[in-house]
Amino acid sequence: MAKLKSVLGYSVAALGIPIMIAAVLGIRLFLNPNAFISATGLEHSANWTGGEVVQTIEHGTYQTDVHRPVFDALIGEHKKGFVQVAWRPPEALPARIDEEIDADADGRADFRIELETATKQASLTPYSPNVIELQGVYDLGETLAIRVRLKNPRQ
Amino acid sequence: MTAQALTREGTPRMAIWKALLLTLPIVPFAAAALANDLMSGEAQLIEIIPSLLIWILLTVFFFRMLVTGKTHRYRSALFILLAFAVPLYLIPQLFELYGTNMLTPEMTYAAKARFCPMTMGMVILPAVLKGVVIFPGAIVEGIGWFFLWIGASLVIGRGWCSWGCIFGGWDEFFSRLRKKPVVKHVDRKWRFLPFAILLAIVLLSAITFHPIYCEWLCPFKVVSEFEAPTSLATTVALVIFPLTFFGLVVALPLLTKKRIQCGLFCPFGALQSFFNKINIFELRIDLDKCSQCKRCFRECPTFSLDEGSLVSGKALMSCTRCGQCVDACPKGAMSYHIKGTRIGISPNAARLLFLYPAYILFCGFGANVIADALWRVLRLITTGSMI
Amino acid sequence: MHGFLLGLANGTSCLALCAPVLIPFLLSEGDNVHQNLVTLLKFLGGRLLGYLLFGLLAWAVGGLLLAAGGYQTLLIGGTYVGLSVLLLVAVFRKKRPTPGGCALSEAQTRFRRWPALIPLGMGLLAGLKVCPPLLLAFTDAASSGTLGGSLLLFVTFFLGTTLYFLPLPLLGAFTRMPDLRIVGRFAAVIVALYYLGSGILLFAGGVQL
């Protein structure tokens, strides 16, 4: 029994070498990370991505992407969150954007945003009591975006 | 004189021919890690020289580990070198890509933060339960780190903390500066703080969907990237980071000669400790040889040996397999050991079977980082700029 | 029935939000399963008290408080700070045995028993702090106009959410390990400091939830 345990012990220890080699090199040589991501459905938290675009408004030379309101939590939803609104392409945006946004797709505007695209200064006029404040204006490269803090109407 | 002769401290040495033979398998790994530069075909001499130097250094150090029977002094030197190399490798890269090492909100929304293995404890629950990655870094990079972390943890357990961690060398450096400690006694209960921090950040990160440790506590933001102070919260965090770095990584290790951040704070280390329970390797005390001098637990940098260890003959689950106690034991009673085998029989075999995967881990990403850092320094000297 | 079903639907959310406070606290107390059940009942009692209090307040002042949005941030900040203080007191207080056989006045005896109210206080603040029914109470009470209906909704909602808390006393099975108790105490302090910091930042308007 002692000999068997000893043999097993050394065998498992020796196995550590190919396992470590696989761990260090394998991801580059054997595993397709993108396939793994597709298979598992892993995606970034909407806190970073802003959530999916649920509404696109065409303005001729540019468009407005309204993302879904984000209240994501591990279980249930948070009481407060935000909605991201983005405009693109940045080079075709007018000097001033003045737009009313329906964040919750209920057919009524929830707030009005006035945005100076050159200086990235913006002011927010809330219409809905669920709108808290303007979080910020962000140059995301492909889009110019704002995030507006919201209260969760379901909470 | 036999092929394995005892040193003054009782650690088995190895004949030179045997050590040379056993070093050969490491040579391609040390070289493979540097091949990125060489295989690109565009590497200039200034880039090749650091790669070659590091290749030679890694090979020589492994050889010396075998010949002298000493693990800790060579591991420690490389470990500290890696920690110093990381900011020299990372920060210039960030400046080349984004012009800053401060993460603006735009960069986090575009998931441009660099993934760090220390995030694993926080990201796992939301990833498993909701398929959501709460760290704003490239998921592909995160997947790579995840598999490296899982494989390494299964093989060497918390050995990650002394052979793989890209930041632990800072702690180690400052803990080795003084000859004698100023503070000699640290209460036993502080050993549980890393586990408490792990519990708290796992719960809070899962609730808030934010990597709490990264956003509020990590002392190594000082030597990597950090959130730009665009709000009161991020400004407060920017004050906390240097405080934790100076306190936990510089001052306390200087005063205690212990790795305080690693042993008494780091929640990732606490997570790694659980892997020690299932890991095949451990540090054992041969109680027949032990003279109860307690030098091992005075030397242990992470508080992983205590009075109980002298009775049970085992290091605690927080052991990082650094080898300092093995090298320090005057009777050769401490050794690397494979669970299930007899204690004291072929300690060199157990040590070797541990050293190979540990060194492969170090070479796997550490070699490239150190070589690149050395190139940056050479570039700074020759051109006046690291970028 | 509506309130109970709503409670069942939202109960996991309540548990998830209370867990960072409850789990370290129960671990740090080092009590057995039965004692943990008593502690949990006090905590839940505090939660119910918080809901009922707000249900009453909402009925009394109705939509006025809904419109005054700014107070909510102050309230949440205040409850965060209160919760963290209670948690710190719970961790750092010395547990004394119940006095017996000494000539203590009744007032002194009652005063020494105050730590038993800590879980109640934590439950009260947790109920005010994070649970969804807070706003539900406001909107329902403001629209229904009947105190009895609003309070009944809250009681049934509370019962629905409470089911998810029942396994928590089982943490007492682990507290035989003294090391785990130390971990619980440290974790409770860390969570308390997090909520203290968050509460202060909320007052200063610097953090988003």
Per-residue pLDDT reduced to its tens digit, B361-375: 999 878 989 998 998
Hey, what amino acid is at C73? Answer: T
pLDDT in tens, B264-275: 999 999 999 999
Instruction: Give the pLDDT band of residue C89 (cuts 50, 70, 90).
Output: confident
Does one domain contain both B225 and B110?
A: yes
| More confident site: B225 or C125 | B225
B122 and B80, same structural domain? no
Cβ atoms of C109 and C32 within 8 Å: the answer is: no
Q: Nearest residue on chain B to A35, judged by CA atoms?
A: B140
What DSSP character marks residue B250?
A: I
Query: Mean pLDDT, chain B, as a whole number?
Result: 89
Q: For A76, which of C12, C69, C135 is closest by C-beta distance?
A: C12
Which value, in Å, is the radius of gyration of the alpha carbons in chain C? 18
> Is position C208 within any domain?
no
**Shortest Cα distance from B28 to chain A (angstroms)?**
12
Query: What is the span of the domain harbouring residue C70?
Result: 2-96+104-202
Nearest by CB to B136, from A12, A48, A145: name it.
A48
**C-alpha to C-alpha distances, B247 to A89, B82, B250, nearest whole angstrom:** 47, 21, 6
DSSP string spanning B335-369? EEEETTSPTTSSHHHHHHHHHHHHHHHIIIIIHHH
User: Predicted confidence band at B50 (pLDDT cuts at 50, 70, 90)?
Assistant: confident
Cβ distance B255 to B181 under 8 Å?
yes
Does residue B124 surpass a pLDDT of 50? yes
Which residues of chain A neighbour C16 with C-beta distances below 8 Å? Answer: 73-76
Across the interface, of B110, B111, B144, the residue whose CB is closest to A27 is B144
Rounded Cα gap, residues C86 and C66, in angstroms: 28
As a whole number of angstroms, the distance between CA B165 and CA B122 comes to: 17
A partners (3+ CB pairs within 8 A) are B, C
Q: Percent of chain B, pLDDT > 70? A: 94
- Would residue B94 count as lying in a domain? no
B290: domain CATH number? 3.30.70.20
Residues B222 and B304 in one domain: no
Q: Where are the beta strands (DSSP E) in A8-130?
A: 43-44, 53-58, 63-67, 70-72, 77-88, 96-101, 111-116, 121-126
C60 CB burial (10 A radius; 0-12, 13-18, 19+)? exposed
Q: Is C207 in Cβ contact with B233 (below 8 Å)? A: yes
- Contact yes or no for C69 and A155 at CB 8 A: no
Chains with 3 or more CB pairs closer than 8 angstroms to B?
A: A, C
Give the contacts of B158 (CB within 8 A, at least 6 positions apart). B269, B272, B273, B275, B276, B279, B317, B318, B319, B320, B321
Task: Please check whether residues B272 and B286 belong to one and the same domain.
Answer: no
Neighbours of A109 (CB within 10 A): 14
- The ipTM of this complex is 0.89
Give the pTM. 0.80
Tell me whether C135 touches chain A (CB under 8 Å). Answer: yes
Q: Tell me which chain A residue has its CA closest to the CA of residue C206.
A: A135
Helix or strand or coil: residue C69?
A: coil
Q: Is B90 a domain residue?
A: no
Query: What is the C-alpha to C-alpha distance for residues A15 and B382, in angstroms, rounded to an integer?
Result: 46
φ and ψ of B324, to 5 deg = -65, -40
The verdict on B175 and B240 lying in the same domain is yes
Residue-range definition of the domain harbouring residue B288 = 282-345
What is the CB neighbour count within 10 angstroms for residue A77? 17
In a domain, B289, yes or no: yes
> Domains in chain C: how many in total?
1
Looking at the structure, tell me whether residues B292 and B316 fall in a common domain.
Answer: yes
> Do C16 and A76 lie within an 8 Å CB cutoff?
yes
Size of interface A-C (CB pairs under 8 A): 31
Question: Which residues face B133 on adjacent strands?
Answer: A44
d(CA B86, CA B372): 9
Mean pLDDT within B209-234: 90
- B212 has a chain C CB within 8 A of its CB: yes
Helix, strand, coil abundance in chain C, percent, nearest 5: 80, 0, 20
Would B137 be classed as within a structural domain?
Answer: yes
Q: Classify residue C32: in a domain, yes or no.
A: yes
Same domain for B321 and B216? no
Q: State the total domains in chain B.
A: 3
Report the chain B residue with the minimal C-alpha distance to residue C204. Answer: B232
**Rounded average pLDDT over C131-156:** 59
Does residue B91 lie in a domain region?
Answer: no
Distance CA B221, CA B241 (A): 6
As a whole number of angstroms, the distance between CA C12 and CA C64 comes to 30
Q: What is the pLDDT of residue B137?
A: 87
- Domain parsing of chain A, residue ranges: 2-40, 46-151
Contacts of A149 in chain C (CB under 8 A): 208
Give CA–CA dist B54/B368, Å, rounded: 9
